[in-house]
Amino acid sequence: MSFEKSHIYTYTVWMKNVTLAVEEATLREARRIAAERSTSLNAMIRQFLEQLTERESQANQARRRILELCRESTAEVGQKDWKRGELHER
- Per residue in 9-61, pLDDT (tens digit) is 887 788 899 999 999 999 999 999 999 999 999 999 999 999 999 999 999 99
Whether residue 60 contacts residue 52, with contact meaning beta carbons closer than 8 Å, is answered with: no
* Predicted pLDDT of residue 4: 66
Residue 67 clears pLDDT 90, i.e. is over it = yes
Would the CA dihedral through 78, 83, 87, 89 be positive or negative?
Answer: negative
pLDDT at 22: 97
pLDDT confidence bin for 2, thresholds 50/70/90: low
Measured between alpha carbons, how far is residue 7 from residues 3, 4, 10, 59, 77 in Å?
13, 10, 10, 38, 61
Label residue 45 exposed, middle or buried (CB < 10 Å: 0-12, 13-18, 19+). Answer: middle
Distance between CA 34 and CA 41 in Å, rounded? 6
